[in-house]
Amino acid sequence: MDTVCSAPAEAVVRLIELKRKFGTTAALDGVSLTVRKGEILGIIGRSGAGKSTLIRCLNGLERPDSGQVLVEGRDLARLSERELQPLRRRIGMIFQHFNLLSAKTVEDNVALPLKIEGRAKPERRQRAAELLDLVGLAEKAKAYPASLSGGQKQRVGIARALAARPALLLSDEATSALDPETTASILALLKDINRRLGLTIVLITHEMEVVRTIADRIAVIDAGRIVEEGPVWKVFAEPRSEVTRSLLGTIRPRLPSEIAARLSQQPGGEAILRVEAAGEGARQPFLAELATAAGLPFRLIHGGMDHIQGQPVASLFLAVPARDAGAAGQFLDAHGIKTEVLGYVAGDA
């Protein structure tokens, strides 16, 4: 018999000190994480960080060596294979390479989970029709996967994952095989499904742009450990771990290479400042005040303002006379604006 464990009412998933080794390699090394009902959680990490093992533990395909995997309060790690079957139906799954059956129509692919459950054919067809309409493929019901584009195949995969009305949807690198335009449309669909159905979604990805686009919270995994987590806008604005900063490097403004190549740690000329602000700090006219209230000259050389989850996030690079670098940093710090002197360049940056 399985054990029903107490958990916060809003938690759909709780991972508690999850550990899994393969030989001497720790794929998961004490992972603890909560996924709340109705949220989209993005789990991101480099290749080999432990993402695949984590998702296999979440759907019961992998047994942890120790720790708990609680889905709706039930510990998957303690269930027999027979006891796992009904709980697995509460977990939908979409894959990078779609995993559609080529010999079956789109309608039959979507209805497959219901057929496995033993549902009657009229019920299966009705549910498939509802879901194909939801994902915008009602006219493709009788088509075969070979005739579909990659984006259409993934929409079929999403519809199939929703067939049994799951409480949790797992997305395993579901957009990494798609072009940017198709990726954007699939992410918009997932966000719409999340809002309309209140469905809890866990995204496993190595792409920061995917997390930025639709996730509510982010958890960064590295070497089998969660090294950082929090609201997406907060983590993007103030990354604490080196892994997070590295992953963000693909989408955050970078100092132009021609300026970076000239940087010196010897004071003189102009100081190059990295300036980061988020939330209320980013809403202030801090650049105008730097010039007017503080009377400090500067030049904006790169960067801009973004909006993530409705919050402004600024990442800028300023050039100020070297003699004014300390005063500029103190002024901005006093206004809650994070600054860092990257170095100095002779002449104009």
Beta-carbon neighbour count of residue 227 at 10 Å?
16
Pairing of strands 270-278, 311-321: antiparallel
Residue 157 has pLDDT above 60, yes or no: yes
Let me know how long the chain is: 349
What pLDDT, in 10s, does the model give residues 41-65? 999 999 889 999 999 999 988 999 9
pLDDT score, position 224: 95
Cβ(319)–Cβ(236) below 8 Å: no
- pLDDT band of 144, cuts 50, 70, 90: very high
pLDDT band at 167 (very low <50, low <70, confident <90, very high): very high
Confidence of residue 216 (pLDDT cuts 50, 70, 90): very high
Angle at 238 (CA atoms; ends 179, 236), nearest 5 degrees: 15
Average of per-residue pLDDT across 224-232: 95
Instruction: Give ranges for CATH 3.30.70.260 in the chain.
Output: 257-345
CATH number, domain 11-248 = 3.40.50.300
- In this structure, which long-range contacts are made by residues 23-32, counting pairs with CB atoms below 8 Å and at least 24 apart in sequence? 26/223, 26/224, 27/53, 27/224, 28/53, 28/54, 28/57, 28/64, 28/67, 28/224, 29/223, 29/224, 29/225, 30/67, 30/224, 30/225, 31/67, 31/221, 31/224, 31/225, 31/226, 32/226
What average pLDDT does range 97-104 have in this prediction?
Answer: 92
Measured distance CA(171)–CA(128) in Å, rounded: 20
Mean pLDDT across the chain, nearest whole number?
A: 91
pLDDT (0 to 100) of residue 9:
44
Parallel, antiparallel, or unpaired: how do β-strands 66-71 and 11-22 relate? antiparallel
Q: Would the pLDDT of 194 be above 80?
A: yes
Most confidently predicted of 121-130, 175-184, 239-248, 277-286: 121-130
pLDDT band at 218 (very low <50, low <70, confident <90, very high): very high
* Nearest partner of 244 among 49, 52, 96, judged by Cα: 49
Residue 4 has a pLDDT of 44
CATH, domain 257-345, list 2.60.120.560, 3.30.70.260, 1.10.287.70, 2.40.30.160: 3.30.70.260
- 19-23, 172-176, 184-188: range with lowest mean pLDDT: 172-176
What is the spatial distance between Cα 162 and Cα 164, in angstroms, rounded to a whole number?
A: 6
DSSP state of 318: E
| Dihedral of the alpha carbons of 139, 153, 193, 135, in degrees to the nearest 10 | -10
Among 95-99, 249-253, 305-309, where is mean pLDDT lowest? 249-253
Longest dimension (CA), the chain: 79
> Shortest CA distance to 21 belongs to which of 65, 58, 52?
65
- Measured CA to CA, the distance from residue 100 to residue 178 in angstroms comes to 16
AA identity, residue 120? A
Domain with CATH 3.40.50.300 in the chain: 11-248
- The answer on pLDDT for 5 being more than 60 is no
Say yes or no to pLDDT of 204 above 90: yes
- pLDDT for the residue 349: 62
Q: Is the pLDDT of residue 150 over 90?
A: yes
Q: How many CB atoms neighbour CB 332 within 10 A? A: 24
